[in-house]
Amino acid sequence: MYNAVFSVMNDHKEIWSGVFQLKSVFQKFSENLSRLTALKTDQQMDLQPLLDAVSKKRESLLSLVYPVANITLAYANDHNKKEITKKLKLSINKLTCSNDLDLIENSKVIHKVAKKLIKKSVTETEDPDNKSISIVDYGLNEKMVLDLNVAKKDFVKSLLALHEATQNKVVMGKQITSILKKNDRLLKNKMDLLVSIFATSKTNFYKTYLEARVIQ
């Protein structure tokens, strides 16, 4: 309806342009309509690429966190590290059916434990008199721990991007509603009243305007 009203008014400026207040209300109406069109275009942005990115980053994180967690748990079991074992069992169990936020938090726990053990293994390696078995002997290496941290951060970034886009859609929806209400008020409270000046002098224009007002 708004586009139809705009077209009628825009095509018949020579009829009504002498009425200053009609020019003023039409300008505001046009500006709102332009903003409305831009918002609707932006709001229609496809979120699927962002959803796909989240899914891909989640799979990548899971593929990296499981080996690190399992190796670390095996080491903790062998060395009777009860506190570590408790933390890791809890984290690994939660990974299976965790939501995104839980996955991030549990990945942090696993990364923190693994990083600490890797650091400890470096110290042990530098001591020639130390013959103890380190976590490196279980297959864990520094790159695995670093890759896990990177994957965790990438997953967080993908979630933030999706959240921001989703929130933007909500905000734009509210802005669209606000503009629709503003244009409705402009039409009902001013433009309809002023255009009626031409009801008898420019009957074709007035009839066309009324028809445009009822187009859905």
Residues 108 and 21 in one domain: no
Q: Give me the percent of the chain exceeding a pLDDT of 70.
A: 94
pLDDT band, very low/low/confident/very high, at 131 (cuts 50, 70, 90): low
Token representation of residue 68: 């690190």
pLDDT band, very low/low/confident/very high, at 28 (cuts 50, 70, 90): very high
Domain boundary among 106, 123, 155: 155
Residues 146 and 59 in one domain: yes
Is the residue at 84 inside a domain?
yes
Range of the domain at 107: 48-155
Is the residue at 38 inside a domain?
yes
Task: Check pLDDT > 90 for residue 138.
Answer: yes
Residues 29 and 56 in one domain: no
Residues 122 and 55 in one domain: yes
Is the residue at 75 inside a domain?
yes
Task: Check pLDDT > 90 for residue 43.
Answer: no
Residues 25 and 76 in one domain: no
Q: Which amino acid belongs to residue 51?
A: L
Higher-pLDDT residue of 125 and 121 is: 121
Mean pLDDT of the 59-66 span: 94
- Per DSSP, 187 falls in state I
pLDDT at 126: 46
- Per DSSP, 191 falls in state I
Question: What is the Cα–Cα distance from 167 to 190, expressed in whole angstroms?
Answer: 34
Is the residue at 160 inside a domain?
no
Question: What is the Cα–Cα distance from 191 to 47, expressed in whole angstroms?
Answer: 38
- Tally of domains in the chain: 2
Question: What is the Cα–Cα distance from 36 to 39, expressed in whole angstroms?
Answer: 5
pLDDT at 123: 63
Mean pLDDT of the 138-162 span: 96
Is the residue at 185 inside a domain?
yes
Residues 53 and 18 in one domain: no
pLDDT at 121: 82
Residues 103 and 56 in one domain: yes
Query: Which residue has 């966190």 as its token pair?
Result: 65
Is the residue at 163 inside a domain?
no
User: What is the maximum span of the chain, computed from C-alpha positions, in angstroms?
Assistant: 107
Domain boundary among 155, 180, 200: 155
Token representation of residue 144: 């695995």
Residues 94 and 107 in one domain: yes
Mean pLDDT of the 46-52 span: 93
Residues 18 and 89 in one domain: no
The whole-angstrom distance between residue 85's C-alpha and the CA centroid of its chain comes to: 36
Residues 201 and 124 in one domain: no
CA distances from 136 to 55, 117, 139, 171 (A): 31, 9, 5, 50
**Residue 88 and residue 113 in contact, taking contact as beta carbons nearer than 8 Å:** yes
Mean pLDDT of the 151-168 span: 96
Token representation of residue 123: 């110290």
**Residue 106 and residue 62 in contact, taking contact as beta carbons nearer than 8 Å:** no
| pTM of the complete model | 0.75
Residues 151 and 52 in one domain: yes
pLDDT at 85: 86
Task: Check pLDDT > 50 for residue 46.
Answer: yes
pLDDT at 133: 76
Question: What is the Cα–Cα distance from 191 to 11, expressed in whole angstroms?
Answer: 16
Is the residue at 162 inside a domain?
no
pLDDT at 216: 53
Q: Give me the percent of the chain exceeding a pLDDT of 90.
A: 75
Is the residue at 202 inside a domain?
yes
Residues 188 and 89 in one domain: no
Mean pLDDT of the 73-89 span: 87
Q: What is the mean pLDDT of the chain?
A: 90
